[in-house]
Structure 1
Amino acid sequence: MTTGLVIVNIAIMLLIIIGLFYMQKKHISFSKRVFTALGLGIVFGFALQLIYGPTSEVVAESTAWINIVGGGYVKFLQMIVMPLVFISILTAFTKLKLSNNIGKISTLIIGLLIATTAVSAGVGIATTLGFNLESVQITQGDAEVARGEMIEQRNLEMQGKTFPQQILELLPANPFLDLTGARPTSTISVVIFAAFLGFAFLGVRRKAPEQAELFSKIVDAFYAVIMRVVTIILRLTPYGVLAIMTKTVALSDFDAILKLGKFVLASYVALLVMFLIHLLLLTFAGLNPITYVKKAFPVLTFAFTSRSSAGALPLNIQTQKSLGVPDGIANFSGSFGLSIGQNGCAGIYPAMLAIMIAPTVGINPLSPSFIATVIAVVAISSFGVAGVGGGATFAAILVLSALNLPVALAGLLISIEPLIDMGRTALNVSGSMTSGLLTSRMTGEIDSSVYNNMDKKIEAEA
C-alpha cells in the first residue's frame, strides 16, 4: 500500500515537472516559471502533509525520491561554484577589468558587507526588544536539549581560535584543496589564489607578451565553457525550486511553528526591515529598487528554498551582471559574501539570540553598552561564516562565546530553524548583491542602461 501511494506522489510530481517544461517550451519568462514552481511546491507539499502527516512513511519515501530533483539541482550548482569563481576572477585580470583598482574594489565590498551586517545586528536587537523575546519563553524538549549539547560540543572544538587566526584561515595554504570546497573559507581562498595568478599574468604580459596572449586565450576558452555549463544548470532552476519547496513544506513541523509563532514573526519582521534597508541604499545610490526586486526575484527565491548561499552563487553572479555590474565585481562580491558579512545568518540571528539569552545570566539587554558590544562583536565575528546550512549556528557560537553567554541556549529554536533559515539565506544573498551594486556605483563601473533594461534578465541568458 505504501509503495503504491509513493508511486502516485512521484507521478504527480512528474506531471508538474512536465507542466513546467511545457511553460519553458512556450517561452514563458524565467521569473514566472520560478514563481509558478514555488507556488506549486507549496501547494503539493501542503497536500502531502495534510493527507499523510509530516512523520508518515509515505511522505518520507516520497520526499526522498522528490529530493533527487531538488538535491541534485543544488549539487549541480555547488559543482560549478569553484570553477566559476576561479575562472571569472582570472578572466577579469586577462581582460583588464580589475587590475587598476582591485584594492579599492575589495575594500569597498568587504566594508559594505561588514557595515550592513552591523546594521542588521541593530535591526535584530530592536526587533527582539520590540517583541519582548526571551529564551525563558521557550520550552526545552528533547530536540532542543540535544541541539544544545551539540552546539556546546562544537563550541569546545572552536575555542582557542583568535580573530587573527580566523583571518589566516581565509588564506590559501593549499589552493587545490580549496578548489574542492573542503573548508568553510574555501571560496575566499580561491578568490585570493585567482587574484595572485591574475597579477602574475600582468607581470608576464609586460615581459613575455606572446606567452601572456596564449594564456589569455586559454582562460577565455575555459570561461566560455564554464559559463555555458552555468547556463545549462540555470535552466533547471524552476524544477529545483519545485522539488525543494515540496520537500520543505511536506516535512515542516507546523505544530512547533504555531507554538513559536511569535519568534518566527519577529525573525521575519527583522529580515524584511533589513531587506528594505538594502532597497533604501540602492535608492540613495540612484538605482531603482523595483527593478532590483524584479531582476533579483529568481535568485532570492532559490536562496529561500535551498537555504544555501553557496548554491545560489551562480545565480547571484548572473543576476548582478543582468543589473549592469562588471564580471569582476560581481564575482568578488558574490564570493566574499559567502564567508564575510552575511546579513541574515551572521547579523540578525546571533544578535537576536544574544538579546534573548542575556537576561538568563543577569545582563540587562536594554543596556546601551551591551547593545553596542553585541553589534561590534557581530560585525567582527562575521568573517569566515560558511555559506551553507549551519553557518548561522557557527556565527551564533562565535558571538555568544565572545559575550560569555551560554551557547547551548542557541539550540532553543531548532524546531523552527529551517523556516527561519530560508529567510536568512535570501537576505544573505541580497546583501551580497547589494554590496556589488553599490561598489559598482561608487567606482563608476555600473552600466545603468543594462540595470534599467528589463530585457536584460537571467531568462535572456538561460
Structure 2
Amino acid sequence: MNTLYTVLVLAVAALILYGLSYMQKKHMSFTKRVLAALAAGILFGAALQLIFGTGSEVITTSNTWINIIGSGYVRLLNMIVIPLVFVAITTSIVNQDASALKKSASSIIIVLILTTAISAGLGAGIAGIFGLDSSELIAGQAETARGEALESTLTEFQSKTIPEQITEIIPRNVFYAMTGQGSSATLSVVFFAAFLGIATIGIRKKKPESAEAFKNFLNMLHDIVMRMVTMVLRLTPFGVFALLSRFVSTSNYAEISRLFEFVVASYIAIILMFLVHLLILMLFKLSPVKFLKKASVPLSFAFSSRSSAGTLPLNVETQVEKLGVSTGIANLSASLGTSIGQNGCAGIYPAMLAVMIAVGTGVPMDLSFFVRLILITAISSFGIAGVGGGATFAALTVLSSMGLPVGLVGLLIAIEPLIDMARTALNVSGSMVAGLVTAKRLNELDMDTYNKDFSDSEEVSA
C-alpha cells in the first residue's frame, strides 16, 4: 500500500513540476515562477505531513526521489560558485583602476561589519524583551549529543588563533582551494583572484600586449561562466519547490512548538533587521519598494536553500541586471558577503544565544555586557571568515569569548533549519545592501536601471 501512495505522491509532484515548466513556456516572469514554486513547496510539504504524519515511510521514500531535483540543483550551484568567484574578482580588478577597487572593497567590508553590529544589538535586545532563558529548556538525547559535539568542535577550532585563521586565507595550493575543500576555500580563491588581477595591472606599462591579451581572456572566461550560471538559474523554480517541500514535509512540529518562543523572537529580530536594511537604502535615497521587488528572487532562493554561497550567482545577476550596480562592486559585495559580516548567521543568532544562555546560567547582564557582546560579535563575523559551519562557528566564537557554555547551543538543534532559512535570506540582503550603498557612494549605480520597472520579458527568464 505504501508503494501505491508513494507513486501517487510522486505523480502529484510531477504535475507541479510540469506546471512550473508550463509557466516558463508561457514566458511568465522569473519572479512569479519562483514565488509560485515557493508556495507550492510549502503547501505540498504541509499536505504530506497532514496526510501521512511525521516520519512516514511514504514521505521518506518520496523525498528520496524528489530530493534528486533539490540536491542536484544545489550541487550545480555549488559547482559554479568557485569559477564565478574567480572570474568575478579578476575581471572586476582588471577592468577598473586600483584606487577605485580599494575604495569599493573597503566600503563593502565596512558596511557588512557595521550592519552585523546593528543586527547583534537587535538580536540581544529582542532576546532580552522576550526573556529567553536556556534554563527552561530540557536537554534531550539529541540535544545532549549535539552539545558534546560542539564542545569538541570548539576545542579544535580554538587550537588556531584568529590571526592564524586569517593567515590561512592565503592559499598554499590555489588548485586545492579551487576544489572548495579547504576551510577557507572561498576567501582563498578571492585572495588569489585579487592577487592575479593586481599582477595583471602591474604589467600594463612594461608589457601592455600581455596585459591586454590576458584581460581579454579573463573577460571571455567571465562571459562563458556567466552563461553557465544562466543555464543553472533556469532550474531555480524546480529547485525551490523540491527543497521546500522536503523541509516542510520532514519538519518535527512537536519539537518546533517546544521552542516556539525562540523561533518567534528570531523571526522578529530578523524582520526588524530587514527594516534596518530598507532604512539604510532610504538614507541613500534608494526606493525600498524597488529593492524588495527586484531582490525577491535571490532572497526567496536563499530562504529555501539555506545557502549564501549557493545564492551568489543570483545575487550578482540581480545587482547588475535589475538594481544597476556596477559589475565590479556587485561581484565584490556578493563574494565577500558569503564569508564576512553575515547579519543573520554571525550577528543576530550568536547575540540571541549569548543573552539566552547568560540568563539561564545567572551571568549578570549590565551595559558593559551588551557593549562587549556587540563588539565581539561584529569582530568575530570577520575573524571566522571562510570557516565552514556558518552560524555554528559564529556562535562558538562569541559564546566562548563571553565565557559562556557553548554546549547549550545543542538545545536548538530541532529548530536550526527553520531559523536558518530566514537568517540566510538576511545574509544575502545584507550583501546586496552593501553593494548598493557602495555603488551609490562611488557613483557606480545606474539609477535608471534601479528605478526601472522590469516587464516579464525583461526579467531573468534565465
TM-score, length-normalised on structure 2? 0.96
| Corresponding position of 2:74 | 74
The structural deviation recorded for 1:191 is: 1.4
Tell me the distance in 1 between the aligned counterparts of 2:144 and 2:431. 34
Tell me the distance in 1 between the aligned counterparts of 2:184 and 2:284. 31
| Corresponding position of 1:253 | 252
User: Is the contact made by 1:67 and 1:244 (CA closer than 8 Å) also made in structure 2?
Assistant: yes
The structural deviation recorded for 1:363 is: 1.3
User: Is the contact made by 1:308 and 1:388 (CA closer than 8 Å) also made in structure 2?
Assistant: no
Tell me the distance in 2 between the aligned counterparts of 1:76 and 1:41. 20
Number of equivalenced pairs: 460
| Corresponding position of 2:185 | 186
- The amino acid that maps onto 1:123 is L
User: Is the contact made by 2:86 and 2:190 (CA closer than 8 Å) also made in structure 1?
Assistant: yes
| Corresponding position of 1:369 | 368
Percent of residue pairs identical = 53
User: Is the contact made by 1:307 and 1:389 (CA closer than 8 Å) also made in structure 2?
Assistant: no
User: Is the contact made by 2:165 and 2:384 (CA closer than 8 Å) also made in structure 1?
Assistant: no
Deviations 1:232-275 (A, max 9, x none): 11111100000001000000111111222111100000000001
| Corresponding position of 2:142 | 143
The structural deviation recorded for 1:184 is: 3.5
* Change in CA separation of 1:444 and 1:221 when aligned onto 2, cut-off 3 Å: same
Deviations 1:195-240 (A, max 9, x none): 1111111122221222222212221221111111111111111000
The structural deviation recorded for 1:456 is: 8.0
- The amino acid that maps onto 1:5 is Y
The structural deviation recorded for 1:108 is: 0.9
Gaps of 5+ in 1: none
- The amino acid that maps onto 1:298 is V
- The amino acid that maps onto 2:16 is I
1:97-112 residue pairs with structure 2 within 5 A?
98-112=97-111
Counterpart check, 1:32 vs 2:21: no
Q: Which runs of 4+ in 1 moved over 3 A?
A: 384-390
| Corresponding position of 2:117 | 118
| Corresponding position of 2:94 | 94
Which stretch shifts more, 410-419 or 162-171?
Answer: 162-171
User: Is the contact made by 1:152 and 1:408 (CA closer than 8 Å) also made in structure 2?
Assistant: yes
Tell me the distance in 2 between the aligned counterparts of 1:42 and 1:309. 21
The structural deviation recorded for 1:355 is: 0.4
Tell me the distance in 2 between the aligned counterparts of 1:215 and 1:233. 27
User: Is the contact made by 2:113 and 2:378 (CA closer than 8 Å) also made in structure 1?
Assistant: yes
The structural deviation recorded for 1:33 is: 0.6
* Change in CA separation of 1:389 and 1:172 when aligned onto 2, cut-off 3 Å: closer
User: Is the contact made by 1:338 and 1:385 (CA closer than 8 Å) also made in structure 2?
Assistant: no
The structural deviation recorded for 1:351 is: 0.3
1:223-242 residue pairs with structure 2 within 5 A?
223-242=222-241
1:415-434 residue pairs with structure 2 within 5 A?
415-434=414-433
Aligned partner of residue 301 in structure 1, secondary structure: helix
1:55-454 residue pairs with structure 2 within 5 A?
55-96=55-96, 98-321=97-320, 322-365=322-365, 367-383=366-382, 385=384, 390-454=389-453
- The amino acid that maps onto 2:140 is G
Tell me the distance in 2 between the aligned counterparts of 1:214 and 1:252. 53
User: Is the contact made by 2:183 and 2:388 (CA closer than 8 Å) also made in structure 1?
Assistant: no
* Change in CA separation of 1:247 and 1:389 when aligned onto 2, cut-off 3 Å: farther
Deviations 1:175-207 (A, max 9, x none): 211111112422222112111111111122221
- The amino acid that maps onto 1:108 is S
- The amino acid that maps onto 2:161 is T
Aligned partner of residue 156 in structure 2, secondary structure: helix
Aligned partner of residue 138 in structure 2, secondary structure: coil
Which stretch shifts more, 412-421 or 84-93?
Answer: 84-93
Aligned partner of residue 382 in structure 1, secondary structure: helix
* Change in CA separation of 1:159 and 1:456 when aligned onto 2, cut-off 3 Å: farther
Aligned partner of residue 405 in structure 1, secondary structure: coil
Tell me the distance in 1 between the aligned counterparts of 2:305 and 2:223. 27
| Corresponding position of 1:47 | 47
User: Is the contact made by 1:309 and 1:388 (CA closer than 8 Å) also made in structure 2?
Assistant: no
The structural deviation recorded for 1:388 is: 9.5
- The amino acid that maps onto 1:11 is A
- The amino acid that maps onto 2:319 is Q
* Change in CA separation of 1:385 and 1:78 when aligned onto 2, cut-off 3 Å: farther
Aligned partner of residue 152 in structure 2, secondary structure: helix
Deviations 1:142-172 (A, max 9, x none): 1111111111111111123222122212222
Gaps of 5+ in 2: none
User: Is the contact made by 1:166 and 1:383 (CA closer than 8 Å) also made in structure 2?
Assistant: no
User: Is the contact made by 1:329 and 1:436 (CA closer than 8 Å) also made in structure 2?
Assistant: yes
The structural deviation recorded for 1:390 is: 3.3
Which stretch shifts more, 297-306 or 378-387?
Answer: 378-387
User: Is the contact made by 1:310 and 1:388 (CA closer than 8 Å) also made in structure 2?
Assistant: no
